[in-house]
Structure 1
Amino acid sequence: MKIISNENKKRGGIILISEAIIKKFIKDSENVENEEVRNKYGTVAGIVGIVSNLLLFILKFSIGFLSGSIAITADAFNNFTDMASSAITMIGFKLASMPADEEHPFGHGRLEYLSALVVAFMVMFVGIKFVQTSFERIMNPVAVQFSLIPFILLLCSMAVKFWLGRFNKIVGEKIDSSALKAVAVDAMGDVFTSGCVVLSYLIAKFTAFPLDGYVGIVVSLIILYAGFSLIKETVSPLLGEAPDAEMVDAIVNGLLEYNIISGVHDLIIHNYGVGRCIASVHAEVPCNIDIMEIHEVIDDAEKELSKKLNIHLVIHMDPIAVEDEDYIQTRTELARIIARNEKIESMHDLRIVGKGDKKNLVFDVVVDGDLSHSEEEELKNWVNDEIQKIHPNYNCVILVDKNYVKRHF
């Protein structure tokens, strides 16, 4: 007799079934950093989605045809688009895994996002078509014939869709796939739309009111909303969304662990698909250390962090005068001034040009959000006026930088 542990009971049957499928068809399933393993996850999720949605489409279309319900028929074709979306997502994984070539030196990873975008437009198309069909049903109502067996089958289809949504969520989180996460959200939305259809089918037994067409409108609008949400989610990384805060923290904290690196700024991360990130950053290092020694540390940092975080990291060295008393005093005074202005996050790349009382302070300030040209000039003038209250003959030459990541340096 097989003993089931309390831990497995708590995890639930959905997770256990999902993990059983994963272990059955994916060897070395825990090695999700491996591109081949990740692609197998996409393939398995795609096949499961195609088979499940095809069966649901056949089932619901048959019930809709026999009962004359436009709401059930609309829900059936929603499952049909979900089946197509699983196929497209699976193809997207295959195409995204193609190696880099001369025309695409950073690989084809963004094709995964494009496949999700195609799916989103398909969902929108189905929603628009069934808004039209449902409106026609309201204008020309047709009686819906209730039957117990189809009603029970519809309830079963909701259970299947709920499991499918959870399965895609588990796989999507495991391999960090925005496409599969979107499919999971769409599937859970289908549970709600199917619930509306089941309700209208049940109520049709007790009333002659043409509720079917109105529920069809509701279902269609939910489908449209799901399509719009998918478009929004998939377009964002294609346009160049802000990088993940955890990745930013990992890069910055990782660099600051090296003894000679005292500060980090100008971090920019470009996403060319999951597992295909390129980052560049400026690291502040002491100017009184041998350049070859600094280069060796920076070179090690690039290699070690690139391997650890699965990115391609490029580091620019910014020397700072850590033992110059004039530099330290001036930097401290500027830091106090900048701390009083909420628009300024930080300062970096300070250089002092000139000797004696007349000096130019050349440095960058980092701001969060977009400032207009006039606001930038006001900010520069304010900093310059504040420093001249302390040193009347000093002049500030300021470059305004924008913060491209979700972290304040």
Structure 2
Amino acid sequence: MVNFLRRLFINDYQNIKNQKVREAHGKLASIVGVISNLFLFGIKLVAGLLSKSVAIIADSINNLSDMGSSIVTLIGFKLANTPADEDHPYGHERIEYVAGLIVAIIIMFVGGSLLFSSIDKIINYEYNPILDYIAYISLGILALSILTKLWQSLFNRKIGKLIDSVALKAAASDSRNDVISTFVILIGNLVILFTGDIGFSIDGILGILVSIFIIISGIKIIKETANPLIGSSVSKEYVDELVEFVKNNKFVLGVHDIICHMYGPTKCFMTLHAEVDSKENIIEVHDAIDEVEMLVRQEYGVELTIHMDPIVNDDETNALKAKVGKIIEGLDKHLSFHDFRIVRKQSRSTLLFDVVIPYKYKMTKEEIYSYLTTEVNRDDDQYNLLINFDYQYIKCEE
């Protein structure tokens, strides 16, 4: 069904990297959400009024809020595709994250409202018998709602993964929550149908459980949505693919100091240092680097800026570099170094290099510096060390 709707309503639907195709996917998912949630709100409201169930009525209001969330997401996709301007030179794609945040707040509001109404139902318990045929109609509507919401969750999750949309992933989680909450309400109504008055409001108790689940889910979605707004790490797989593309150039010997800024799901600005042989013609290398930047922009849509680092490959430099590398690896396999060079002086040469350390590392920079200085000069005290400490901006695997 998902691919059928994509083929039916989206031109060139497989070209996900195209911004217009991506926007069309977001609009399709949002419109499907508006229509299906409006339908569920109507039939559940009727069922709730007929069965006098506060849980079913609250569930119908939840579907109405879901429709509002779909409208917010639809507007978010439209605004996110607005071209960059003087006030927003990096584009407007982060509006999608704001839309996801609004959806999460709506989810928490609905959960809070359901919690208070459920508590009131328990405190002011009153048994209201209903006709069997009304009960069966209500149960049928709840079953239909569960199937619809399950399909909604799968639909939004698939589209959300295809276009890497935080807002649609939040909508998928919300639909999953609705499946669970409606199923709990269905069980409660079955108990009431077959047992009658049991002396307390099972409807209210189930409503409290569902509301707590919804509130917790909203908090999780807020965290997931806020992370990219604050500035989360880019996936290692994504960066590795770009780095391999850069390293395929014959002049590039290695890559380090990779920094990636995401201004939305597809708007990426990246800088990196490319190691090149110091003996190569600088004009020729510069032209090659410019070409790499252009190809990355065309192939991946990434605004890449490359800084060239000339590397000296004489025997002394290579020997000392290997020695320092072995010492650092012996200290901790999670440490790495780059930009190694020697400043030679008559009295005492200086080794300059950068050491990359993990966040919250067990040793201080001073302790690392002291250890490396001692080990490098263990055989003969002839080198000063000038170390610049970097942090790893790309999440690494353990």
Task: Say whether the fold is shared (TM-score over 0.5).
Answer: yes
Worse overlay, 249-258 or 271-280: 249-258
Letter in 2 for 1:387: V
Contact 2:107–2:215 (CA under 8 A) maintained in structure 1: yes
> In structure 2, how many angstroms separate the alpha carbons of the residues matched to 1:219 and 1:77?
14
Shift of 1:277: 0.5
Question: Which runs of structure 2 are paired with 1:276-295 in the superposition (5 Å)?
Answer: 276-295=267-286
Residue deviations 1:213-239 (CA, integer Å, cap 9, x gap)? 000101111111221111011001001
Letter in 1 for 2:216: Y
Are residue 108 (structure 1) and residue 108 (structure 2) matched? Answer: no
Contact 1:68–1:142 (CA under 8 A) maintained in structure 2: no
Secondary structure of residue in 1 paired with 2:330: coil
Letter in 1 for 2:371: W
TM-score normalised by L of structure 2: 0.95
Letter in 2 for 1:302: E
Contact 1:267–1:280 (CA under 8 A) maintained in structure 2: yes
> In structure 2, how many angstroms separate the alpha carbons of the residues matched to 1:390 and 1:77?
76
Residue deviations 1:287-308 (CA, integer Å, cap 9, x gap)? 0001001101111111112222
Aligned match for 1:367, one of 335, 357, 360: 357
Shift of 1:402: 0.3
Shift of 1:370: 3.0
Aligned match for 1:402, one of 371, 391, 394: 391
Partner of 2:178: 190
> In structure 1, how many angstroms separate the alpha carbons of the residues matched to 2:71 and 2:61?
15
Contact 2:104–2:170 (CA under 8 A) maintained in structure 1: no
Shift of 1:35: 1.3
Shift of 1:357: 6.1
Residue deviations 1:233-267 (CA, integer Å, cap 9, x gap)? 10010010010122111122112211221111110
Are residue 385 (structure 1) and residue 374 (structure 2) matched? Answer: yes
Identity of aligned residues (%): 38
Partner of 1:204: 192
> In structure 1, how many angstroms separate the alpha carbons of the residues matched to 2:336 and 2:348?
25
Question: Which runs of structure 2 are paired with 1:6-405 in the superposition (5 Å)?
Answer: 17-144=1-128, 145=130, 147-205=135-193, 206-209=195-198, 210-322=201-313, 324-342=314-332, 344-356=334-346, 358-371=348-361, 375-405=364-394
Worse overlay, 108-117 or 223-232: 223-232
> In structure 2, how many angstroms separate the alpha carbons of the residues matched to 1:226 and 1:56?
21
Contact 1:162–1:191 (CA under 8 A) maintained in structure 2: yes
Runs of 4+ in structure 1 over 3 Å off: none
Letter in 2 for 1:274: P
> In structure 2, how many angstroms separate the alpha carbons of the residues matched to 1:355 and 1:407?
38
> In structure 1, how many angstroms separate the alpha carbons of the residues matched to 2:126 and 2:164?
46
Shift of 1:371: 4.1
> In structure 2, how many angstroms separate the alpha carbons of the residues matched to 1:251 and 1:391?
42
Letter in 1 for 2:326: R
| Unmatched 5+ stretches in structure 1 | 1-16
> In structure 2, how many angstroms separate the alpha carbons of the residues matched to 1:63 and 1:310?
50
Contact 1:196–1:215 (CA under 8 A) maintained in structure 2: yes
Secondary structure of residue in 1 paired with 2:251: coil
> In structure 1, how many angstroms separate the alpha carbons of the residues matched to 2:141 and 2:336?
61
Residue deviations 1:106-140 (CA, integer Å, cap 9, x gap)? 10010010011011111111111211111111111
| Unmatched 5+ stretches in structure 2 | none
Contact 1:343–1:367 (CA under 8 A) maintained in structure 2: no
Shift of 1:344: 4.8
Partner of 1:6: none
**How many aligned positions are there?**
390
Residue deviations 1:281-325 (CA, integer Å, cap 9, x gap)? 011110000100110111111111222222111100011102x11
After superposition, the CA RMSD in angstroms is 1.5
Letter in 2 for 1:81: S
> In structure 2, how many angstroms separate the alpha carbons of the residues matched to 1:125 and 1:214?
19
Shift of 1:343: 6.6
> In structure 1, how many angstroms separate the alpha carbons of the residues matched to 2:235 and 2:334?
22
Contact 2:30–2:70 (CA under 8 A) maintained in structure 1: yes
Contact 2:157–2:172 (CA under 8 A) maintained in structure 1: yes
> In structure 1, how many angstroms separate the alpha carbons of the residues matched to 2:243 and 2:15?
26
> In structure 2, how many angstroms separate the alpha carbons of the residues matched to 1:390 and 1:294?
39
Letter in 2 for 1:359: S
Shift of 1:345: 2.2
TM-score normalised by L of structure 1: 0.92
Shift of 1:44: 1.2
Contact 1:100–1:107 (CA under 8 A) maintained in structure 2: yes
> In structure 2, how many angstroms separate the alpha carbons of the residues matched to 1:130 and 1:169?
25
Letter in 1 for 2:50: L
Shift of 1:268: 0.7
> In structure 2, how many angstroms separate the alpha carbons of the residues matched to 1:157 and 1:219?
16
Letter in 2 for 1:389: R
Shift of 1:338: 0.5
Worse overlay, 21-30 or 339-348: 339-348
